């Protein structure tokens, strides 16, 4: 599996992918890491792993489509066949999506369709959700609106802050992203026939039960303290 990974910041999901690859848990290669921000800390993870990096500042492009065209050119040049949005804070356009059909994947820190967009963890906390989690989905032109591939759930605890909740979700993100990519790389993506006006159903063959509700068993006192 030849991956191009797009980031904007910390890059912990990128690091999780690189670790999984190094440890033989994911049969893939990261061909290129692109950041739209020059100071993204995640670029250091790529460099440490010997992965080529590129900064493509979105502000230098007149519109989203021309920015995406630059991304596509770089991804193709480096041999990427799948694109992972790992904390990439830009909406993508059909220019990218049509270059990699059904091959652009995003990780989002909520159980979509709840809490799309920025700071999903704070949204869940503010809403009073008792369970939240993370979602890996195929990307479409909307905000976190593409077909869901897999989700993992975590409890929201009574004394959670935005940061404690985000950390609990993040641990699940790292595991889920690796598992989903392994599944995609093994050819398990199924795209159903599309009915008029509806998008096709997608699923990961043979993985439905494995990707079921996964309450974080590591959270100390989760049951007692859950609200």
Q: Which residue is nearest to ligand GRF (CB)?
A: 87
Q: Which is nearer to ligand GRF, 121 or 183 (CB)?
A: 121
Tokens of 209: 């039960």
Q: How far is the CB of 198 from ligand GRF (least distance, A)?
A: 26
Pick the piece of the chain touching ligand GRF (CB under 6 A) from 2-10, 154-162, 191-199, 208-216: 2-10
Q: Which of residues 97-126 bind ligand GRF (CB under 6 A)?
A: 107-109
Give the count of residues interacting with ligand GRF (CB under 6 A).
Answer: 14
**Euclidean distance between CA atoms 63 and 58, whole angstroms:** 8
Inter-residue contact 141 to 207 (CB < 8 Å)? no
Query: At closest approach, how far in Å is the CB of 217 from ligand GRF?
Result: 21
The rounded distance, in Å, linking the Cα atoms of 133 and 38 is: 29
Among 3-11, 18-26, 43-51, 65-73, the segment contacting ligand GRF (CB under 6 A): 3-11
For residue 30, list its beta bridge partners: 3
Which of 11, 146 has the CB closer to ligand GRF? Answer: 11
User: Please, which residue, 76 or 145, has the CB nearer to ligand GRF?
Assistant: 145
Question: Among 4, 87, 133, 146, which residue sits at the site for ligand GRF (rule: CB under 6 A)?
Answer: 87
151 sits near ligand GRF (criterion: CB under 6 A): no
The binder of ligand GRF chosen from 1, 3, 13, 137 (CB under 6 A): 13
Looking at the Cβ atoms of 73 and 118, the one nearer to ligand GRF is 118
In DSSP notation, the chain reads -EEEEEESS--HHHHHHHHHHHTTSS--EEEEEEESSTT-THHHHHHHTT--EEE--GGGSSSHHHHHHHHHHHHHHTT--EEEESS--S---HHHHHHSTT-EEEEESS-TTSS-SS-HHHHHHHHT-SEEEEEEEE--SSSS-SPEEEEEEEEPBTT--HHHHHHHHHHHHHHHHHHHHHHHHTT-EEEPPPPTTSPPPEEETT-TTTTS----TTSTTHHHHB-
Residues with catalytic function: 108
- Site map (CB under 6 A) of ligand GRF, residues 42-61, x = contact: x-------------------
Closest contact distance (angstroms) between CB of 8 and ligand GRF is 7
Q: Which residues bind ligand GRF (CB under 6 A)?
A: 7, 9-13, 42, 86-87, 107-109, 170, 173
């Amino acid at each position: 599996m030849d991956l191009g990974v797009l980031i904007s910041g910390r890059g912990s999901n990128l690091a999780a992918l690189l670790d999984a690859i190094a440890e033989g848990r994911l049969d893939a290669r990261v061909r290129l890491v692109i950041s739209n921000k020059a100071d993204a800390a995640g670029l250091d993870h790529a460099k440490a792993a010997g992965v080529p990096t590129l900064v493509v500042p979105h502000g230098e492009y007149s519109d989203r489509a021309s920015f995406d065209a630059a991304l596509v050119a770089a991804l193709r040049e480096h041999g990427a066949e799948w694109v992972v949005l790992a904390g990439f804070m830009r909406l993508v356009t059909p220019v990218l999506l049509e270059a990699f059909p059904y091959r652009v994947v995003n990780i989002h820190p909520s159980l979509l369709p709840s809490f799309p967009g920025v700071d999903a963890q704070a949204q869940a906390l503010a809403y009073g959700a008792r369970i939240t989690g993370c979602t890996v989905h195929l990307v479409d032109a909307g905000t976190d609106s593409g077909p869901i591939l897999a989700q993992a759930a975590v409890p929201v605890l009574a004394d959670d802050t935005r940061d404690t909740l985000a950390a609990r979700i993040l641990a699940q993100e790292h595991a889920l992203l690796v598992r989903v990519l392994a599944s995609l790389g093994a050819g398990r993506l199924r795209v159903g026939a599309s009915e008029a006006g509806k998008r096709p159903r997608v699923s990961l063959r043979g993985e439905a039960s494995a990707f079921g509700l996964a309450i974080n068993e590591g959270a100390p006192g989760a049951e007692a303290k859950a609200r």
